[in-house]
Amino acid sequence: DTAVSQTPKYLVTQMGNDKSIKCEQNLGHDTMYWYKQDSKKFLKIMFSYNNKELIINETVPNRFSPKSPDKAHLNLHINSLELGDSAVYFCASSQGFLGAYGYTFGSGTRLTVV
Amino acid sequence: GENVEQHPSTLSVQEGDSAVIKCTYSDSASNYFPWYKQELGKRPQLIIDIRSNVGEKKDQRIAVTLNKTAKHFSLHITETQPEDSAVYFCAASYPAYGNKLVFGAGTILRVKS
């Protein structure tokens, strides 16, 4: 069983469209994250949720809206896609919040905006 | 603010040699330092981690050292093999920022056979 699963794996879309990426973890972890990896491989946190509650919201355009219906799911919706949104988006989860623990990453979603 | 610097950005070694990657962090309150390996087109995977109450940790050919005073930590890979070729990321936790992990910029390691 895949521990952290993301769908879709690839997403090619036109500028201006709205798209969603879904993430689910079956590890029983309390905290989930979205990271963006740009073309230079730099991993930058976007959001973090702990038990469905938003705890980290970096300076991300408000076109990006995360939603966590329960602690096993964290979805990312992106409105009005721009060329600069092209990147690999990784979902991740970790065991705890107050103490730092290692992340388990999903396999990533490669978003290409044309 | 939170910042993790990682060096070198690329590293080429001959098979069998050792490789060392170094990172520095900015917040003395950071208490957790994981290392991730990312192969081409794959997800980052945790390979080793260390907490601030420990100075060194080893797992077979991989070791990590931590100098809290200098805010440095390093990854050491001995007897490198071609399958060690990948991008390696260090990270540090930042308690004041929701305990998020801030990643270094990554090191591309190439092991030549």
Structure confidence by residue, pLDDT tens digits, B53-93: 889 999 999 999 999 999 999 999 999 999 999 999 999 99
Structure confidence by residue, pLDDT tens digits, B77-86: 999 999 999 9
pLDDT score for A16: 97
Enter the DSSP assignment of A97: S
Residue the block writes with tokens 């945790």: B46
Structure tokens at A102: 């290692």
Interface residue A59 vs chain B (CB under 8 A): no
Give the full edge-to-edge strand order of the sheet including A4-7.
Answer: A4-7, A19-25, A73-78, A64-70
User: CA of A108, closest CA in chain B: separation in Å?
Assistant: 7
What percent of chain A clears pLDDT 70, i.e. is strictly above it? 95
pLDDT score for A100: 67
Q: Which of A38-47, B23-32, B76-85 tops mean pLDDT?
A: B76-85
Interface residue A101 vs chain B (CB under 8 A): yes
Check B98 against A105: CB less than 8 A apart: no
Check A108 against B43: CB less than 8 A apart: yes
Q: Interior CA angle at B8 toward B4 and B11, to 5°? A: 140
Interface residue A66 vs chain B (CB under 8 A): no
